[in-house]
A and B are shown apart, each in its own frame.
Chain A
Amino acid sequence: MSLFHVLGFGLKVGHLVWLLCCSLVSLLSNNWVAGDGGVMGTKASFLGDGGKVPLNWLEKFLGNVYKIHQHYYQGSGSKKVGKTWWRKLFFAWIMVWSVISLWVFWGMSSQAADKRKETLVSMCDERARMLQDQFNVSMNHVQAMSILISTFHHGKYPSAIDQATFARYTERTAFERPLTSGVAYAVKVLHSEREEFERQQGWKIKRMDAHVQKPVHKDNYEAEVYELSPVQEEYAPVIFAQDTISHIISLDMLSGKEDRENILRARDSGKGVLTAPFRLLKTNSLGVILTFAVYKKDLLPNATPEDRIKETYGYLGGVFHIESLVEKLLQQLASKQTIVVNVYDITNHSHPISMYGSDVSYDVLEHVSSLNFGDPFRMHEMRCRFKLRAPLPWLAIFTSIGILVIALLIGHIFYATMNRIAKVEDDFYKMMGLKKRAEDADVAKSQFLATVSHEIRTPMNGVLGMLHMLMDTNLDITQQDYVRTAQASGKALVSLMNEVLDQAKIESGKIELEAVQFDVRSILDDVLSLFSGKSQDKVELAAFISDKVPSAIIGDPGRFRQIITNLVGNSIKFTERGHIFVTVHLVEEVMSSVEPEMELSRNSLSGYPVSDRRRSWEKFRTFNQDGSNMRFSSPFSNPISLIVSVEDTGVGIPLEAQARVFTPYMQVRPSISRTHGGTGIGLSISKCLVGLMNGEIGFVSTPKVGSTFTFTAVFGNGCPVSGECKSWQVNRRSVAVDESYGFHGMNALVIDSRPIRAKVTRYHLQRLGICVQVLSDMSHVLSDTSICNMKVNMVLVEWEIWDKDPSSLAILRDRLRNTAESRVPPKLFILANSAGSMRMSSSASDAFGPFVLMKPLRVSMMAASLQRAMGIGNKTSNCNGDSPSVSLRNLLQGRKILIVDDNRVNLRVAEGALKKYGADVVCAGSGKEAISLLKPPHNFDACFMDIQMPDKDGFETTKEIRQMERAYRDSLPLEDLFSDSRDQSSKWHLPILAMTADVIHATHEKCLEKGMNGHVSKPFEAEQLYREVSRFFHSSPDQNE
């Protein structure tokens, strides 16, 4: 079932992909967790649960697959259910995976966003901290300067610092305050001290708020622009200033709104304070002023504002350029381009004042870091944004799309697979149905054939019998002719029916092969003699059997003969000239032979070209297997494989018809059956029979050249021990045949130009025990005088040579006649087929020859012809034919045999037959009588029993006898059973053979089933009787005892 494979494979792939997905997901989630430990705590735990979820799914999935299996095997009814179920599963799968991929997308993109935010936060905080640090450094310096002022200006009298000193000092220490553009010192002057102070300084205190609004350039700066300060309670005129801001000297700081506020706060808190950012006077850039108060003496930390005001000397201010400050700072840091920084003063929360930066960002993401410049009153903050919008999360998009695509693909694969499987299943069921119907039809056909042919055969017997009887009545010649024709047709019909019945039997597997010993050579001789009359004059029939083929093999001779007869019969039908050549070899022999015998395709038996016989078996399994150890299971313990080729030079088989040669009832053309007859099932039957013999059949055919059919078959070796076989093979002829014919030790000279034909002749002569020498050319014989001195008893000349050159033959004949008088001159034989022999009869012949040996060559015919010519008596020839009777006599001599038959005539005949072989016969007329005679221990050696008898038939009688035997055996003491088993067993087990007129195979089986040991056909046939009896009587009792 390929379904299992497909499903198994699908599951494996699915599982693999599933694992892949799982690992991918877990990898992703791990990354995620590592990326942001804090946030992902919850997510990790979720994934921890999620790890189990796929497993559950997997289990569920497998369970479902199993369910589907069951669905399919529950029958076709649930198929549709399974289909819709699968569709639902498919959609569910897609949905699940869509959700999963969305989730992955969301997870990954939020991860990316978090990372971005985190980057921003860290960058922003870093910037804020640096800014704050730098600012604080600068502030510290300004504070240090206030201490300087308090020490050297107010602490000494007269003051150690004047404007020039201050300017120079501040100029030289400017590097320490990179952020301040300038510092100035204003002194506290009460109104009461104003005049004194103005006089001391040499200038008037001026107010500054008038020009604060309008930006003033350094170039057109005029002191006259400033108005004199109006009367105030107190003043804070600038007395020292760095050169960069020297224009503010003499300006009253308390008159500026921002400055005043600043100064008052600084005085109160005693710490540095900052103004709100404002446009600076000269540079018009944003700046803040840092103000420190300078006190007369060190104050306690818990001093009240009143104390502080009282103790105030003056105020030190520094101008900070926030813009340049931030600019400088950002330049120090990398990635200035990626983020936008804004600094705000948010003292007034509703109106933050921008100190730096522009709103050129498109990104919504913002981070705010607070800044502490040391002034608790003023609040500052830094806002950072990325310059560019966040890029699309491509990785997340691609990952999720990838997951979705993979899932879809897997789903599709499964879905398609299931669809495919369902379709294949459907087809499978459909095909099963069709196959069943076809098989039913085939069985019905075979049954029909068998029945019909059987039914026809029965009345045909009547027809034939009646025709036969009709022939015995008084008929005139015409009537007799009609009757004979009718009878011949009837016989043909019956043989045809037999063929059809055979075919039907084979198809229904009812045919069984016999396993008896037979001789291949004699079978081939029979076949040749059968066809010798039928073949055309110009066709030469020949057979050759390899020396290696043992003479006795075990198998079914009838079927073997049937195959060969079929093949040769076919060849004869289609061959008008040339030859038909049957060869038998051992398979091993052919396989091992590298002799290129077929390369000389022109050098065939008759000289006509033939098809290459090797090609006919090149497809055989046996030959394609390496070595012969891969034996098919054979019923024989000692199997040998024969390979038989039938080669002809006929019309050949058209290429288009070659494919259906072995199809039953199929002929090359419909017209063939009209011209050549036959049903076209011969080859099909042959193929089946060959198959039953564990063999193969094949052919090669070339139109207009000829066909060669080859088959192999496995038989048992008739010679049980191979060693024995070998020795027997060496001098086989001298033992088996020559004694009877009397040719042993003779020498023959064969003159033949064709080696293959010479080989055939030699083969047949050697079977007679004659030593053979082959010469290819007549002239060679004539020139070589030595042959006359050789002890040659006969010279065999091929007709072809004789025909070509009769004169040289005449010379040869004379030469032979005139050789040494001391011995009998050699006889001259002509090997001729019928056509030749006709003409031969006219030519002169005398006591020395030439005699004609008719082809096809066969041992019996050859022996007879040679004997007649050589004058050897035929006295021993009967011996051969009698051999079974002789051995039968050996077997049966002195045996006591009981014959049971109700038919007195049969009884008498059987008695006579067995008596003739020397047996001691007792007769019984019925089953009852037989039982009374056969009380164990038995006095008889065997019993022949008729089956059909009135009141107690053979089977019943046997049954009763067997029961008696069993009872007897059980009554025996144990030691008797084993003491001399061979002798004793015959006492309580009598071989019973059925005698029956019909020899159907089923009867034989029934006999065995009923406890009989075998069966013989009723008018005894010596051979069959011998075969059956030899199974029980291994040798004559005389020898045994």
Chain B
Amino acid sequence: MDILAQLVERFVNYRSSLYSDSILDDQFTELLKLQDESNPDFVVEVASLFFQDAEKIINNIASALKQGPVDFKQIDANVHQLKGSSSSIGAGRVKNTCVAFRAYCESQSFEGCLRCLQQVRHECTLLKSKLDMLFMLEQQILTAGGSIPPIK
């Protein structure tokens, strides 16, 4: 029991730290609400979809930035895409970075784009690791027979 309680406490703390660092936002909460008995792996599924997409997009952007005349329009479309998906899953910081990224695209600042690309890549990795951790903890609680405490 102690272990479980500790696990739950750690989970809750961890989760709230994600929110307070605004790695995640309310939309993620909404997402969690959508998950129920009928589709238990909804969030994981969406998250993995997101990471696949994100990786593809980031690669696209990176290659676009490497080309001679940089096509900012194409980059912008890609960033928009990423912004859409990140806001859908509630990845707050990725979304914010995308907002800044788009501003640079608009002003056609190559430097800014490069920096943002780094940032986005960094944020995505960060998010991935954080979510992996979260899901792992969740899994541990479930295997230990506990239940996930709802978000207040």
A residues within 8 Å of B by Cβ? 458-459, 461-462, 465-466, 468-469, 472, 902-906, 908-910, 912-913, 915-916, 948, 950, 997, 1018-1020
Contact = CB atoms under 8 A, between A and B. Distances in A.
A160 to B, nearest CB: 164
Interface in B89-103: 89-90, 93, 96-97, 99-100, 103
B81 A472 contact: no
Contact of B34 (A903, A916, A997): A916
Contacts of B30: 913, 1019-1020
A906 B54 CA distance: 12
Interface of B: 21-22, 27, 30-31, 33-36, 38-39, 42, 45-46, 49-50, 52-53, 77, 80-81, 83-85, 87-90, 93, 96-97, 99-100, 103-104, 106, 119
A699 B85 CA distance: 50
A47 to B, nearest CB: 91
Nearest to B104: A462
Contact of A472 (B50, B93, B103): B93
A903 B93 contact: no
Contacts of B39: 912, 915
A669 B27 CA distance: 45
12 contacts: A458-B103, A459-B103, A469-B119, A472-B21, A472-B22, A905-B84, A905-B85, A910-B88, A915-B38, A948-B77, A1018-B88, A1019-B27
A902 B82 CA distance: 11
A909 B43 CA distance: 9
B53 A904 contact: yes
A903 B103 contact: no
B84 A461 contact: no
Contacts of B42: 912
A909 B88 contact: yes
A129 B38 CA distance: 149
A485 B53 CA distance: 36
B55 to A, nearest CB: 12
A271 to B, nearest CB: 144
B88 A465 contact: no
A461 B81 contact: no
B99 A461 contact: yes
Contacts of A902: 81
Nearest to A463: B100
Instruction: Tell which of A472, A903, A909 has the most Cβ of chain B within 10 Å.
Output: A909
A1018 B103 contact: no
Nearest to A912: B34
Contacts of A462: 99-100, 103-104
B100 A905 contact: no
B53 A905 contact: yes
Nearest to A997: B84
Contact of B88 (A466, A468, A906, A916): A906
B93 A468 contact: yes
A584 B45 CA distance: 50
B8 to A, nearest CB: 22
Contacts of B85: 903-906
Contact of B49 (A472, A908, A916): A908
Nearest to A908: B46
A916 B31 CA distance: 11
A834 to B, nearest CB: 25
Given A461-B99, A997-B87, A905 B50 contact: yes
Nearest to B26: A1019
A12 B50 CA distance: 85
A466 B100 contact: yes
Contacts of B106: 458
Contacts of B38: 915
Given A469-B93, A905-B49, 9 more contacts: A465-B97, A468-B93, A472-B21, A904-B85, A912-B31, A912-B46, A950-B77, A997-B84, A1019-B88
A1018 B31 CA distance: 13
Nearest to B83: A997
Contact of A903 (B21, B84, B97): B84
A904 B57 CA distance: 12
Contact of A1018 (B53, B77, B81, B84): B84
B80 A948 contact: yes
A458 B31 CA distance: 29
A910 B31 CA distance: 10
Contacts of B97: 465, 469
A903 B46 CA distance: 11
Nearest to A885: B33
A1019 B87 contact: yes
A621 B139 CA distance: 68
Given A459-B103, A913-B34, A997-B87, A904 B93 contact: no
Contacts of A950: 77
A459 B100 CA distance: 8
Given A468-B22, A469-B119, A1018-B87, A905 B46 contact: yes
B11 to A, nearest CB: 21
B81 A903 contact: yes
B31 to A, nearest CB: 7
A468 B46 contact: no
B70 to A, nearest CB: 19
A902 B81 CA distance: 9
Nearest to A906: B88
A948 B93 CA distance: 22
A468 B34 CA distance: 29
A602 B152 CA distance: 46
Instruction: Tell which of A462, A466, A904, A915 has the most Cβ of chain B within 10 Å.
Output: A462
Contacts of A908: 45-46, 49
Nearest to B80: A948
Contacts of A910: 88
Contacts of B87: 997, 1018-1019
A912 B46 CA distance: 9
Contacts of B99: 461-462, 465
Contacts of B81: 902-903
A1020 B33 CA distance: 13
Contacts of B119: 469
Contact of A916 (B27, B36, B45, B89): B36
Nearest to A948: B80
A912 B34 CA distance: 6
Contacts of B45: 908
Contacts of A904: 49, 52-53, 85
Nearest to B36: A916
Nearest to B22: A468
A461 B103 CA distance: 8
Instruction: Tell which of A905, A950, A997 has the most Cβ of chain B within 10 Å.
Output: A905
Given A458-B103, A468-B22, A904-B49, A909 B89 contact: yes
Nearest to A905: B85
B96 A469 contact: yes
Contacts of B83: 997
A974 B93 CA distance: 57
Contacts of A472: 21-22, 93
A465 B96 contact: yes
B136 to A, nearest CB: 21
Contacts of A906: 84-85, 88
Contacts of B21: 472
Nearest to B52: A904
Instruction: Tell which of B22, B84, B89, B103 has the most Cβ of chain A within 10 Å.
Output: B84
B96 A468 contact: yes
Contacts of A458: 103, 106
Contacts of A466: 100
Given A462-B103, A466-B100, A468-B22, A905 B31 contact: no
A466 B100 CA distance: 8
